[in-house]
A and B are shown apart, each in its own frame.
Chain A
Amino acid sequence: MAAPFRILKAAREWFRDLRGKEGSFRTDFDAFYFCFIAGIAANRKMSVKNDDTAELVDYFPERYGPRRELLVALFITRELQKLGISLEEKDAMNKAISALVNPHSPSFLSDDGVREFNKYAHGGFEVLQEWFDDRPRTLPVFLRAFKNKLDAHVAATAAGGAFLSG
């Protein structure tokens, strides 16, 4: 079995009011996704103990299936930046990408790739707690607030010049 995605138990708890309600999060992967995006936006990775996490699936489930290539692309982009590899360095890119992906894995990620991917989600949960004073209670309010926080963070980081590297 390929390495599974893992969500912080505390993150699952934090999102509990959005889980299972009509029109809200269909699976815990939605909570994982918003954590991941926050981690990517803030460029924050965090290692945690396995005991503090709950196992999800080893593939991109349901509505994420058709978007998996884009999510892997976003993840690789950010990893290349972290490794200080520019998009001109062919050999270094080749090597880094080879280490992160596995075409035979259901997630397209190698075990190392999944591990690093999870770290963004763990770091992202910390970011969410900084962005929000309280845990979300309803989906409409959360989505609006998340987008506002994300945009503000992206704008601030771009102004500081640290968000993107080419």
Chain B
Amino acid sequence: MSAVLRILGWKAVGLRCPDHELSFDKSSGQPYKVTLIQMPNGTGKTTTLALLRAALSGVAEQWAPEQVRSFQKRPPTTDRGYFELRLLLNNRRVTIVMEFDFEKGRVVYRTTRSPHGQQSGYRPPAEFRRYMQPDFINFFVFDGELAEKLLDRTETNAEVAVTTLFQINLLDEVKQVVMDYWERQTQGKPKEQKGLTRRQNYRDKLQARLSYLLREKARLERERDTRQTELVRYRERYERELHRLGELDRQIQDAESRYQEATRRVQDEASEILDRMRDPHALSATFAKEIYDFKQGLDRVKLPESAAREFFEELANESVCVCGRPIDAEIQQVIRERASRYLGSDNMDLLNRIKRSISEAVGNDLNLASQEVAEMLRNLERLMWNEQTTLQELQSLRVQADEADPAVKAASQEISRLETELAEIEQSLARFESDDDSLDDDRTFGIKVIKERLERAEEQLAEVHGTLTLKRKRDVLAEVLDEANRRARVSIAEELCMLTNQRIRELMPYNNISLAHIDKSLALEGQEGGSVGETLSVAYAFLATLFNQSEHQLPFVVDSPANSIDLEVRPKIGELIPKLTSQFIAFTISSERDGFVDALARANPTEVQFLTLFRKNRTSWQHLVSESDVCIETTDGLCVTGKSFFFRFQEDDEEGN
């Protein structure tokens, strides 16, 4: 069944934002396609977004009293607060109310929907529950930085979104149920068997060790990714700073390319030598002589012979020899015994092949191949010397650049620091791949080794429990679930990648950028060549593909969609967003209007609702309201509807949120 979620409006009273009520529905009952809510800094955007997320997810019931009280108006005017969210779920109205009791530090939910009427508690329709998980809501109620984070390989947002939406984590949950079941079965068994406790403790210790290693590895990988991102940034900065040095920069670039060329030649030569050394006779003239002598020896003793063992074995079965004399039982026995001195015909073929190969490889000059290798090695030495010289030249120029400009030096030092740290991290990470099985558990870092030990410990424990068969079934099931998990991730990621690219081609036919694959983050094809605008467009297209499909359509509620985007990129994103979703609600500040709002309104002229919400008693703002503006006033807030006021409004200063 499809699930279409729309937001019709909300109302807030007695909370940290100004009291206000916003309605996004038109006379048709359907909401505007685009709603822009302009709220100056300090008006409570963050509070409103948090309330919205809490109303959608039902999490506030679990909030601690201090967290509940953090939503109370400052200074407090009442010990009660109220937030009402009006939704349209599959064209049916649903209202979720949160009642704040600041004295008790508690939030109580009420839900109104047909045909049930008003009910206490958080009770959205069952078919919407999967879209209203706290983790998931963050992907359609988000701040403007989410799109960038989706592309950041140190973040895992893309993976979380896909996993949550398609409920792949259910497979992990099922696996956990299987594991828990086995655990219960083994725990319930009698413990009088010898060594049971010891084995259980050992198994637990290995499990703890494995969890520690996996955690540690993941932590180091995250650190590595962060450092790599930093390194790229500093290298770019270094290049930029260097560029300002003119002639010196040109000299460094020349030296850099000479060094790279020298390195490439060393690698090529080493690669060729390695291949030549795979011929044992080329590695050493002694080996050449040995195999040559072997061949000569075979020739001398006439091996292989012209007759194969099979000939004599057949002859032994005959009654008359090839020479015409009769073969009796005694002679038959002698022939059979002596037949074993002869090689079989297959072995003869092989020996002939070996002899031929030796002749072809070694030929008449036993030293030729090894002399060739020796010459190649001398050349390698020369090339390595050249590589070293070019490196020294490059380093010397870099030192000059460092001395010429402190900014270059600073970037250069950061690069050195990051390279050192990265090398250390890589070294630490390599320990987890180790096969070394010789050390005790506490000193073993190889994850595969600890897994194998754990597997053996579990087998031994299962033997004691008499649950070996059950354990094997558990393992098969766990393996099936892991494989299903893997396949689901791969096929969903591929499908999403294809659909996103399809959407990109439709929306941005002249762009040359596309999604390469979806892993933890989004990886772009030709990312290096893509502008910020293009890459952000891809991230938005990905979100739209996720949230607006035939089976579900969700709104986008975005805080400051343009704040982190450069002015020149804004029109591109502004034009794109309305095409991606059927409801887009954005919280903006006045400085975001330039480029972004104009483009957005141009792309969607009749469907944009403009709202401006601000605190009362800010005279500079209140004076802007004219009699012709539609204005709703509350105890501490003013909400003005209309494009004209929206564009007239100007923030004069900023307060913290």
Residues of B within 8 A of A101 (CB): 347, 350
Question: Are B289's CB and A94's CB within 8 A?
Answer: no
Q: Mark B270-308, 1 if CB is under 8 A from A, else 0.
A: 110111011111011011011101111110111100000
Q: How far is the CA of A98 from the CA of B339 in the complex (A)?
A: 13
| CB closest residue in chain B, given A18 | B274
Q: Contacts A77-B290, A87-B296 given; indicate if A13 touches B435 (C-beta within 8 A).
A: yes
Which chain A residue shows the least CB distance to B354? A69
The number of inter-chain residue pairs (CB within 8 angstroms) is 147
| A163 located at the interface, meaning its Cβ lies under 8 Å from any Cβ of chain B in the complex | yes
Please pick, from A9, A69, A95, the residue contacting B358 in the complex, using a CB distance under 8 A: A69
User: By the criterion CB–CB under 8 Å, are A87 and B281 in contact?
Assistant: no
Q: Known contacts being A71-B280, A104-B346, A164-B289, is A87 close to B377, with CB within 8 Å?
A: no
> Measured between C-beta atoms, what is the minimum distance from A83 to chain B in Å?
14
Please determine whether A143 and B295 come into contact, CB atoms closer than 8 angstroms: no
Q: Bound complex: CA of A146 vs CA of B300, how far in Å?
A: 35
Interface size grouping (class) on chain B: 35 or more
From the candidates B274, B281, B343, name the one contacting A143 in the complex (CB within 8 A): B274
Q: Does B353 have its Cβ within 8 Å of any Cβ on chain A?
A: yes
* Chain A residue nearest in CB terms to B349: A103
Q: Looking at the complex, which one of A23, A104, A140 makes contact with B384 (CB distance below 8 Å)?
A: A140
- Give complex CA distance A88, B297 in Å: 7
Tell whether B214 is near chain A: CB-to-CB under 8 Å. no
A55 CB, nearest partner CB in chain B, Å: 12
- A130 in contact (CB, < 8 A): no
Contact pick for B343, options A25, A87, A98, CB 8 Å: A98
Q: Is the CB of B278 within 8 A of A64?
A: yes
* Contact yes or no, B283 A150, CB < 8 A: yes
Q: Do B350 and A108 have beta carbons less than 8 Å apart? A: yes
Prevailing SS type, chain A contact patch: helix
Query: B279's closest neighbor in chain A, by CB?
Result: A67
Q: How far is the CB of A136 from chain B (nearest CB, A)?
A: 12
Shortest C-beta distance, A84 to chain B (Å), equals 14
Assuming the A-B contacts A69-B357, A150-B284, A164-B286, are A77 and B291 also in contact, with contact meaning beta carbons closer than 8 angstroms in the complex? yes
Q: How far is the CA of A52 from the CA of B436 in the complex (A)?
A: 8
Contacts of B384 in A (CB 8 A): 140
Is B381 an interface position by the 8 A CB rule? yes
Asked if A154 is at the interface of the complex by the 8 Å CB criterion, the answer is yes
User: A122 on the interface (CB 8 Å rule)?
Assistant: no
Given contacts A87-B297, A88-B300, A97 and B347 within 8 Å (CB-CB)? yes
**Residue A41, interface by CB 8 Å:** yes
**Does any Cβ of A come within 8 Å of B400's Cβ?**
no
Within 8 A of B (CB), among A1-47: 9-10, 12-13, 16, 22-25, 30, 33, 37, 40-41
Which chain A residues numbered 79 to 95 have a C-beta less than 8 Å away from chain B?
80, 87-91, 93-95
Complex CA–CA separation, A163 to B361 (angstroms): 22
6 shortest A-B CB distances, which residue pairs? A87-B297, A9-B435, A69-B357, A23-B271, A103-B346, A90-B301
Residues of B in contact with A (beta carbons under 8 Å apart): 266-271, 273-275, 277-281, 283-284, 286-287, 289-291, 293-298, 300-303, 341-344, 346-347, 349-351, 353-354, 356-358, 361, 373-374, 377, 380-381, 384, 430, 433-438
Q: What 13 additional pairs, Cβ within 8 angstroms, besides A93-B297, A93-B301, A101-B347? A: A52-B438, A70-B281, A73-B291, A77-B290, A90-B303, A95-B341, A98-B343, A103-B346, A139-B267, A140-B384, A143-B274, A147-B277, A154-B286
User: What are 26 A-B interface contacts by the 8 Å CB criterion?
Assistant: A10-B438, A23-B274, A33-B278, A40-B280, A63-B275, A69-B357, A73-B291, A73-B354, A73-B357, A80-B294, A87-B294, A89-B301, A90-B302, A93-B301, A94-B303, A97-B347, A98-B343, A98-B344, A103-B346, A103-B347, A140-B270, A140-B380, A140-B384, A143-B377, A147-B277, A166-B293
